[in-house]
Every structure is written in structure tokens, then in C-alpha cells.
Structure 1
Amino acid sequence: MIKTVFLDHPKSVNETYLEHAAFAGKFSGKLFLAAGAAAIHAVIPCLFEKTASRMIAEMYAKTHNRGVQPTPEAETA
């Protein structure tokens, strides 16, 4: 049970528990900042016009293929 709760998912993205905790914590902080920029933009539209969407796109780029092993064809391309 403990292994399933704490270790299976980090292993699936090739990380230890502590590496995964650090990555997720940093990700959480970036989401918090993006939410703040979006909230300010909601009130004052000329501020942070693209900040939140840019931050989300950058975070997605870093996470959408985590744990996926590259194929030999992809490594040589």
C-alpha cells in the first residue's frame, strides 16, 4: 500500500520520491504565480496579457511526455 501511494507514480516518470516532490512543488509555485497573473489581468486587462497562458504552455511542454521512453527512431531524428 505505501509503495503504491508514494513510489509508483514517481517511478513511472523516472524520478525518486524526493525528486518528484521537488518537481511537483516547483510546478505548484508556478501555477500559483500564473493564477495571480490571471487574476490581476481579470481586473486590469492591459496587465499580464499573455503571462498566464505562456507560463501554462511552458509547464505543459515540460510535463506532457514525462515518463515516456523515446523510441530508437525518435532518438536519431
Structure 2
Amino acid sequence: MFKALFIEHPRKVNESYGEHWLVANRFGLRMVVAGLGTMLHGFVPGLLTHAGSDMVRKLHGEMARRQQGLPVKKQERVAAKTWQPEYEI
């Protein structure tokens, strides 16, 4: 159980537990900040007009670049999920 919860996923993405923790927390913090900015944009539409959309694009691009080091089979799964937002906030 411990191995399944803490070791298997980081190995699948070629990271140690510590590396994965740092990457996940950096992504999470950026999403929280972008989410708060998007909520502020909801109250005052003239502020932060593309903050949420820009962050989604940046994070998606970073995730796609990180996938390049993975085996081809996993890259194909990631490529199948590539998308372009139809609506921007």
C-alpha cells in the first residue's frame, strides 16, 4: 500500500518522491494563485482579463515538455489529450 501511494506514480514520471513533491506543489500553488486572480476577474471584469487562461496554457505547455522524457507509449497517451481552450477567462 505504501509503495502504491508514495512510490509508483513518481517512478512512472521519472521522478523521485522529493522531485515529484516539489513539482506538484509548484503546479498547485500556481493554480491557486491563478484561481484567485480569476475569481477577482469575476468581480472586476476589467482586471486580470487573461490571467486564468494564460496560466492554463503555461501549465499545459510545461506538462507537455515534461512528458518528452517519458517512453513513447506514455507520450502517445498525453498527445491524445492535447487540447485548446474554446473559452478564455
Instruction: State the TM bucket, normalised to the shorter chain.
Output: 0.7 to 0.9
Looking at structure 2, the residues matched to 63 and 26 of structure 1 have their Cα atoms a distance apart, in angstroms, of 12
Deviations 1:31-53 (A, max 9, x none): 01110110010000010000111
Matched residue, 1:75? none
Looking at structure 2, the residues matched to 51 and 70 of structure 1 have their Cα atoms a distance apart, in angstroms, of 33
Aligned-pair identity (%): 28
Structure 1 spans left out of the alignment, 5+ residues: 72-77
Matched residue, 2:71? 69
Looking at structure 1, the residues matched to 50 and 19 of structure 2 have their Cα atoms a distance apart, in angstroms, of 30
Looking at structure 2, the residues matched to 68 and 48 of structure 1 have their Cα atoms a distance apart, in angstroms, of 35
Deviation at 1:6, TM superposition (A): 0.4
Q: Which stretches of structure 1, 4 residues or more, deviate above 6 A after TM superposition? A: none
How big is the alpha-carbon RMSD for the aligned residues of Structure 1 and Structure 2? 1.8
Please report the TM-score for the alignment, with normalisation by the length of structure 1.
Answer: 0.82
Structure with the greater alpha carbon radius of gyration = 1
Looking at structure 2, the residues matched to 54 and 24 of structure 1 have their Cα atoms a distance apart, in angstroms, of 19
Deviation at 1:70, TM superposition (A): 5.2
Query: How many matched pairs?
Result: 71
Matched residue, 1:40? 40
